[in-house]
C-alpha cells in the first residue's frame, strides 16, 4: 500500500519559512522527503542556517531565497528556482504574514499597506506564479494560511481580518479556476497558535484567549503543519476550495 | 525559432494553417481567447524550456509580439 503521506519526489515552496508556522511546515515536509524552497523576508544568515539544519537532519535538498513576498518578483523568483532546479512544482504554501493590530481610526496607512501587501497581495502573486508551473506538470496543491480572524473578525483587527478574509476569497476563486488543471487550492484558518506573534500579549489577555478555546490549550505550529501535510499530500487528492479551521474549537 | 513558435500557435489555437499571421491577435480572432492564451503560454514555455515573465505574458498580444518576446528566451 502506498504511503499517502510521503512527499518524496515532490517539490514544495514555503513562504515565511524561517520561523513559527512556516518553519514547522518546512520541517514536517522535509521529514516526509520533500525538496524544499524556503522564503524569508530578511535575515539571510538565519534562513541559511535553517536550510543547512534541515538538509543535514532530513537529507533533502533545501534552497533559501530572501525576498519581500508582497512584491511579485519574489514569488516569481521562488517558482523560477523550482523550474530551474526541478522543472516541477507540487506544493506552494502561502504562509508569510504579519499581524499589525489597531483600533479603527488609529491605523496608519503604512500598517494597512504592509498588512494587505504581505498577507493578501503576496498570496495573489504566489497563486499566479505557482499555478503556471503546476499546470505544466500533473497539477499540485496550493495551501494558503488565513486566520480564524479572517472568518469571524475581531475588535482591533479590522485590517488584519480584511487581509485574511481576502485570502479565503482568493482561495475559493482559485480553486474553481484551477481545478480542471488538477491544482487544488485550500486554506487553513489557524486559531491561537504559539508563535512569536502571541508572545507579545499581556498575561491577562493570553489567559482570556486560552479561556475562549474549547480544547483549553494554545495550538502549536505543529498542529498547523500537520494540517498542511494533509493538504499537501496525496491524502487529499479530491479536496479543494475548503477552509480548514485548526483552532481547537476557539470562539472569538 | 519561428518553427517552434508556429507549431505552438497551431496547436494552442487549434488552427489549420498560419497563412496570414498578421491577423493573429489576442481577442481579435475567436480562437485566441484568454483560455487559449494560457495554453499558448504553456506551450511556448515547454517548447523553449523557460518561464516567461508576467509582463511578457501580458504583452504577448499578437504573433509578431510573440516572435519578438520569444527571441529573449531562445
User: What does the H/E/C string look like for A93-153?
Assistant: EECCCCCCCECCCCCCHHHHHHHHHHHHHHHHHHHHHHHHHHHCCCCEEEEEECCHHHHHC
Query: What does the block give as the cell for B58?
Result: 501580458
Q: How confident is the model at residue A202 (pLDDT cuts 50, 70, 90)?
A: confident
Listed as ranges, residues in chain B with pLDDT below 50 are none
Render pLDDT for A71-86 as a digit per residue (tens, 0 to 9). 999 999 999 999 999 9
Asked if the C-beta of B54 comes within 8 angstroms of chain A's C-beta atoms, the answer is yes
Per-residue pLDDT at A230 exceeds 90: yes
Render pLDDT for A85-143 as a digit per residue (tens, 0 to 9). 999 999 999 999 999 999 999 999 999 999 999 999 999 999 999 999 999 899 999 99
Inter-chain residue contact B45 with A76, CB threshold 8 Å: no
Per-residue pLDDT at A196 exceeds 90: no
Report ipTM for this prediction: 0.79
Out of B41, B45, B54, name the one closest to residue A76 (CB).
B54
Gap from A13 CA to chain B (nearest CA, Å): 17
Whether residue A210 contacts residue A156, with contact meaning beta carbons closer than 8 Å, is answered with no
Average pLDDT over residues A146-153: 98
Chain B environment of A138 (Cβ under 8 Å): none
Cite the active site residues of A.
160
Out of B38, B41, B51, name the one closest to residue A80 (CB).
B51
Chain B environment of A136 (Cβ under 8 Å): 42, 45-46
B-proximal residues of A, 67-86, CB under 8 Å = 72, 76, 79-80, 83
Inter-chain residue contact A79 with B51, CB threshold 8 Å: yes
Chain B environment of A83 (Cβ under 8 Å): 51
Inter-chain residue contact A136 with B42, CB threshold 8 Å: yes
Per-residue pLDDT at A167 exceeds 80: yes
Average pLDDT over residues A22-42: 97
Pairs across A and B, CB distance < 8 A: 17
The 10 Å CB-count burial string (b at 16+, else e) for A99-121 is: bbbbeeeebeeebbebbbbbbbb
Measured between CA atoms, the residue of chain A closest to residue B53 is A76
Distance CA(A15)–CA(A176), nearest Å, equals 23
Residues 6+ apart with CB under 8 A from A189: A146, A147, A148, A150, A151, A164, A168, A243, A244, A245, A246, A247
pTM of the entire predicted model: 0.93
Least reliable range by pLDDT among A157-166, A168-177, B47-56: B47-56
Asked if the C-beta of B64 comes within 8 angstroms of chain A's C-beta atoms, the answer is no
Asked if the C-beta of B51 comes within 8 angstroms of chain A's C-beta atoms, the answer is yes
What pLDDT sits at residue B35?
Answer: 87
Residue A181: other Cβ atoms inside 10 A: 17
B-proximal residues of A, 123-152, CB under 8 Å = 128, 132-133, 135-136
CATH number of B2-70: 1.10.1200.10
What pLDDT sits at residue A53?
Answer: 97
Pick from A57, A250, A233: which is nearest to A149 by CA? A250
Substitution target from A81, A129, A135 for chain B, most B beta carbons within 10 A: A135
Whether residue A39 contacts residue A17, with contact meaning beta carbons closer than 8 Å, is answered with yes
Cα dihedral value A209, A213, A217, A223, nearest 10: -110
**What letter would DSSP give residue A59?**
-
Q: How many angstroms separate the most distant Cα atoms in chain B?
A: 29
Better-predicted residue by pLDDT, A197 or B4: B4
Amino acid at each position: 500500500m502506498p504511503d499517502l503521506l510521503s512527499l518524496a519526489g515532490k517539490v514544495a515552496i514555503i513562504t515565511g519559512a524561517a520561523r513559527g508556522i512556516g518553519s514547522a511546515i518546512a520541517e514536517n515536509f522535509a521529514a516526509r522527503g520533500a525538496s524544499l524552497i524556503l522564503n524569508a523576508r530578511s535575515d539571510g544568515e538565519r534562513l541559511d542556517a535553517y536550510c543547512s539544519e534541515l538538509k543535514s537532519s532530513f537529507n533533502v535538498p533545501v534552497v533559501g531565497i530572501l525576498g519581500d513576498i508582497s512584491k511579485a518578483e519574489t514569488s516569481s523568483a521562488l517558482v523560477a528556482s523550482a523550474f530551474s532546479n526541478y522543472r516541477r512544482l507540487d506544493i506552494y504554501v502561502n504562509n508569510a504574514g504579519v499581524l499589525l493590530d489597531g483600533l479603527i481610526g488609529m491605523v496608519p496607512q503604512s500598517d494597512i499597506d504592509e498588512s494587505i501587501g504581505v498577507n493578501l497581495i503576496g498570496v495573489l502573486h504566489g497563486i499566479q506564479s505557482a499555478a503556471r508551473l503546476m499546470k505544466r506538470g500533473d497539477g499540485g496543491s496550493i495551501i494558503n494560511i488565513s486566520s480564524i480572524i479572517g472568518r469571524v473578525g475581531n475588535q482591533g483587527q479590522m485590517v488584519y481580518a480584511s487581509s485574511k478574509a481576502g485570502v479565503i476569497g482568493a482561495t475559493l476563486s482559485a480553486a474553481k479556476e484551477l481545478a480542471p488543471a488538477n491544482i487544488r487550492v485550500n486554506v487553513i484558518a489557524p486559531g491561537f497558535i504559539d508563535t512569536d506573534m502571541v508572545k507579545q500579549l499581556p498575561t491577562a489577555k493570553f489567559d482570556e484567549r486560552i479561556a475562549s478555546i474549547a480544547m483549553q490549550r494554545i495550538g502549536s505550529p505543529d498542529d498547523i503543519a500537520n494540517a498542511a501535510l494533509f493538504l499537501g499530500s496525496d491524502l487529499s487528492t479530491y479536496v479543494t476550495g475548503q477552509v480548514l479551521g485548526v483552532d481547537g474549537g476557539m470562539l472569538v | 525559432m519561428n518553427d517552434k513558435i508556429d507549431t505552438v500557435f497551431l496547436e494552442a489555437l487549434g488552427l489549420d494553417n498560419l497563412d496570414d499571421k498578421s491577423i493573429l491577435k489576442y481577442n481579435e480572432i475567436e480562437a485566441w481567447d484568454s483560455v487559449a492564451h494560457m495554453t499558448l503560454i504553456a506551450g511556448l514555455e515547454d517548447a523553449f524550456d523557460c518561464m516567461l515573465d508576467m509582463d511578457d505574458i501580458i504583452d504577448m498580444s499578437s504573433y509578431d509580439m510573440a516572435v519578438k518576446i520569444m527571441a529573449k528566451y531562445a
